[in-house]
Structure formats: C-alpha cells, structure tokens
Structure 1
Amino acid sequence: MADNPDIEALTPYARSLGIQLADWEDGVPIMCVEFVEAVEGRPEHFHGGATGGLLETAGYAALRAELARIERDAVLKPINITVQYLAAGKSQTCFAKGRITKLGRRSANLTVEAWQDDRSRPIATAVMNVLMAQPEG
C-alpha cells in the first residue's frame, strides 16, 4: 500500500516526541518513537505521557487510513481515551498499532497497543472514542 500523506501529517505534539510512521501492516500504519530525551520520564524509561501520545497518534493514524480507504472525509474530534499502563517502557524504540472496533456514521471506537521488543507483551493499551464530524464547506 502506498504511503498516505494524511497519515504522515502528524500533530506538532507528535512531531515534538519524534513519532513517525514505521511500517504498514494489512493496510494499517504502525507508528513508532525512538527513545530520546524528549520521551524520557524517570531515568532510562519512557514517560507515561509520551506513551499515551504514541497510542493516541497510532489510533488516529489507523482511523485516517480506514477513512481514506473508504474515501470518506471527516473531521476527527476526541470524545475520550483511556490508557492502561501495563509495563515500564525501557530505553528502546516503542511501536504502536490501532485497530478499529466499530466504525459508525458519527463515531468510531478503537483499541491501540504499544510494545517494544516483544509484540506479544504490550507495555500499554488504549481505548479511544472519536467523533467524526462532517467537514465544513
């Protein structure tokens, strides 16, 4: 699948953390962030906010990819996001991938997982609810 410019157009916050597109898997982007000073919390560990930012970015990227695939235009607005921290993120690259659990007419529900060296052992997960508003104009 070709790279989608909408997926790569990250928010200023995501760019400040160094979040980027790592790969595509089954039409869904996998986002990543390398361990750098900007994401460090306690020494040699990811800050929880950086982990949450990666999860949220990966969730929106998955939703944008699906909306592009079905040629649907929408303005995405967060309803809520719940993050579960499962293990401390160590000083290595962190990856995240979102999955749409429900795509409705007005809202979408997603789950997102973040992992490091072992994908079967996520360091954090998130559940997101996103409002999909009609673009103005």
Structure 2
Amino acid sequence: MSPAEHHPLPAYARSLGIRYDREEDGIPVLAVDFGASVEGRPQHYHGGATSGLLENAGYAALRVTLEGIGREHQLKPINITVQFLSAGKSKPMYAKGRITKLGRRNANLVVEAWQDDRERPVATAVMNILMGAPAEK
C-alpha cells in the first residue's frame, strides 16, 4: 500500500493542492502545482505555501519511517525553521524529508524544496518533532 493510501494528507495540505508525487527510497516526494492557492506576489509562491509543503513533506517522511519499523506515535512540532533560498517561480515545486536523528521521544529532520534543479533548493527546513503516545481511537 502506498503512503498516499496509508497516510492521507491533512486538509491544510489538500487545500494548497499538495499531493504525493512519487517515492524515492521508500520516502514520499510531495509536490504542488503553481496556482492561485499558493501565489504570493504575482507569479511567485507565497512563503506560507512553501513552508506548508516543507512541513508536510517532513511529516510524510517521518510517518512512513515510523510505520516501517512498527512504531505508532502522535507527532507534535517542537520547532520548525525554514530558510528561504530563492523565490519559487510559477512552476511545480517538490519537497522531500530526510530524518537525521530518530530517538524514542523525538525526531530531527531536514527537508528540501526544489523546482527545476534539485541541487538548487528553493527552501529548506529543519524540523524537531516530539513523538508522543498514540491518540486514543
């Protein structure tokens, strides 16, 4: 079963048009097409939309990884720091998270967003996530 089927994106991500694009090494790559819901100044992505893509890509990477090792947690942000490196232009943007440390109670991730050239990210994020007990069902 794909990450998209197992972990549907939250309503906020769907409202921006964020979608699963593909998997790389078992980790989801999320994408968003340029449009009115993500536009800031004319023909450029809004910083909040770019941040939303980064955050959702980080959570997607962490959820898939935790599921793969049989761990269930409720994820809560400790902090998220976004670095805007260049203006996102009016074309699709992609993002993928990478876990740099996975502990018992928290996880650290780095997320990159790019457009044409993955070696030239538009923005990056560092995420520190608390992994609490699973929510009651």
| TM-score for both structures, normalised by structure 2 | 0.96
Q: Which residue of 2 aligns with 1:57?
A: 56
Give runs of aligned pairs for residues 72-111 of structure 1, distance below 5 A.
Answer: 72-111=71-110
Runs of at least 4 residues of structure 1 off by over 6 A?
Answer: none
State the superposition RMSD in angstroms: 0.9
Q: Is the contact between residue 6 and residue 64 of structure 1 (CA under 8 Å) also seen in structure 2?
A: no
Q: Deviations over 1:61-96 (max 9, x none)?
A: 000010011011000011110000000000000000
Structure 1: gaps spanning 5 or more residues: none
Q: Which residue of 2 aligns with 1:48?
A: 47
Q: Is the contact between residue 107 and residue 131 of structure 1 (CA under 8 Å) also seen in structure 2?
A: yes
Give runs of aligned pairs for residues 110-121 of structure 1, distance below 5 A.
Answer: 110-121=109-120
| TM-score for both structures, normalised by structure 1 | 0.96
Instruction: Give the 3 Å change call, closer, same or farther, for CA 106–33 of structure 1 in structure 2.
Output: same
Partner SS state of residue 37, structure 2: helix
- Structure-2 separation of matches of 1:79 and 1:136: 18
Letter of the aligned partner of 1:6 in structure 2?
A: H
Partner SS state of residue 48, structure 2: helix
Deviation at 1:6, TM superposition (A): 3.4
Partner SS state of residue 114, structure 1: strand
Percent identical among aligned pairs is: 64
Question: How many equivalent pairs are there?
Answer: 135
